[in-house]
Structure 1
């Protein structure tokens, strides 16, 4: 059983999943795989691997200026293969709208299908560094729901070009949601409208952006259910364990940090105390979510294997 939705339907144990980011270009993947190794005792059901839109650089040679895309973090598909081969855990690659036209998207989906990948997290993707707003490729997708629609069509054997006896894919499609709303959306209601559109197009489960207040998740789920979104909504959590993160995470991820967590980190006298206070706060949040009956916990490790492991040890010991 390899599809995320099948695990979610089991309901016999609390599901745990991870999210990692490929290393920078030229760096080894060994540290990331070693970090995953430390969390394998907690039996992750799947591991998401992020994909990053390339940024554009302009190079001048012999008086001619050339526009060249550069990806800082390549390797999403390769890491997915390494995860499956080394850990026998189902990888979930992120697939984004940005930098792909519809034909390139179809080619990528065919590659993933041939590799035996059965799960995809479909996202619009953020603009690359230096680009103030999202700009779709020519004949590309402007919204994540359009990407979900294309994947669903391929699952039905509907390719862009009309083919004779086309073979369908079998992807389980996940999508993202934002309990505090997407930063580009004018309000949460508009954001939920587009989330429902993604579900209507074929999304089978949802993973939220990180948040640090249980009430935000509860309110978000209630509003989602009220407009007919019935698929599982998995909370995404990230350990915040340093003063530096208090300053950087809100601007990077457009999330609010509760005053209680800020105080816990700022009152710490040592880095180890910052770390312990941050892990303890997130563990309490996870306990609230578990009591509420969430379908699982998705942990954004993002190169912070030590913090993720400490959080998992606190929350999952004896529960699974």
Structure 2
């Protein structure tokens, strides 16, 4: 089912592929805990290859290596094992437009309905390909063209992908301000994107303000809040540096005052439940949880929101 057409409140989750050489069983363990709550879809992240150096036979070789390969294989495995709606991430980074077309053909063969498009990391270690897109809207355009039967080389069978893109309630860290960031998002929507999943945030008012600004710019697609409960004080200190987000002082104070790990856990769960209650009152289409392979807090939250 296309995500843009879901007409009732839903929950969904995001998982990351296992590290290179690790078992898919760890993913199944995560899903076995979440699937009883009937998520509308499961998204699978994609990681571009990065340059690493190896000494082989006395020579230093610069080789591309993906730390978490297997996104498409994982999508197929989950779809076959659980018969659920799976949404692969596709990145501009590390892929030429020709490689992307081949990936999209594979996904069409797998009867994948939804795709989540991201630019990907632009760090100096990420492999840069010839014919690689610099912006996510360019990949959205390519997929939209394939939906119209326009491939890179020829006109051919129409695909039928529903395209999702990322939104940033606190703006993307590279944007000078939130309005310029919204202009970039509008370009992705105008190119054919049909839904938005946001970066994580911990102040629901930032999401509400963000959505109101989008509506003012005539961006009317579903905007799904991306959430991740914080259940450790140490995590609250680390996340801003990695994801360029703010942690409200209230949450930070409550976590710092917790005496035990159990108290930290309960603080994080209660804080997220209060946020969700306010978001539901605002009228969100659903909730997307970033699991990062940790499910205890999400399971506890889902038990509490079954009636939403």
TM-score range, shorter chain: over 0.9
User: Which of 180, 187, 192 is 1:190 aligned to?
Assistant: 180
Please name the residue that 2:135 is paired with.
Answer: 143
Runs of 5+ unmatched residues, structure 1: none
Please name the residue that 2:121 is paired with.
Answer: 126
Aligned-pair CA distance for 1:33: 1.2
Residue pair 1:177, 1:206 contacting (<8 A) in 2 also: yes
The alignment status of 1:202 with 2:192, answered yes or no, reads yes
Aligned-pair CA distance for 1:186: 1.1
Cα-to-partner distance string for 1:191-247 (whole Å, 9 max, x where unaligned) = 100100000000000000000001100110111111111111111100100022112
Aligned-pair CA distance for 1:21: 0.6
SS at match of 2:280: helix
Aligned-pair CA distance for 1:67: 2.1
Please name the residue that 2:82 is paired with.
Answer: 87
User: Which of 287, 296, 313 is 2:286 aligned to?
Assistant: 296
Aligned-pair CA distance for 1:184: 1.0
- The number of residue pairs the alignment matches comes to 308
Aligned-pair CA distance for 1:63: 5.6
Aligned-pair CA distance for 1:176: 0.3
SS at match of 2:202: coil
| Cα separation, 1, equivalents of 2:128 and 2:197 | 23
Aligned-pair CA distance for 1:86: 2.2
| Cα separation, 2, equivalents of 1:207 and 1:194 | 15
Residue pair 1:136, 1:142 contacting (<8 A) in 2 also: no
SS at match of 2:199: strand
Aligned-pair CA distance for 1:57: 1.1
Aligned-pair CA distance for 1:55: 1.3
| Cα separation, 2, equivalents of 1:184 and 1:204 | 23
Aligned-pair CA distance for 1:137: 2.5
Cα-to-partner distance string for 1:245-271 (whole Å, 9 max, x where unaligned) = 112111111110000110111110000
Please name the residue that 2:34 is paired with.
Answer: 39
Please name the residue that 1:54 is paired with.
Answer: 49
SS at match of 1:311: helix
The alignment status of 1:3 with 2:2, answered yes or no, reads yes
| Cα separation, 2, equivalents of 1:264 and 1:176 | 30
Please report the TM-score for the alignment, with normalisation by the length of structure 2: 0.96
Aligned-pair CA distance for 1:115: 1.1
Please name the residue that 2:150 is paired with.
Answer: 158
The alignment status of 1:254 with 2:252, answered yes or no, reads no
Aligned-pair CA distance for 1:38: 1.1
Aligned-pair CA distance for 1:62: 5.0
| Cα separation, 1, equivalents of 2:82 and 2:258 | 37
The alignment status of 1:317 with 2:306, answered yes or no, reads yes
| Cα separation, 2, equivalents of 1:72 and 1:111 | 22
Aligned-pair CA distance for 1:64: 4.4
The alignment status of 1:218 with 2:213, answered yes or no, reads no
Runs of 4+ in 1 over 6 A off after TM superposition: none
Residue pair 2:64, 2:127 contacting (<8 A) in 1 also: no
Please name the residue that 1:68 is paired with.
Answer: 63
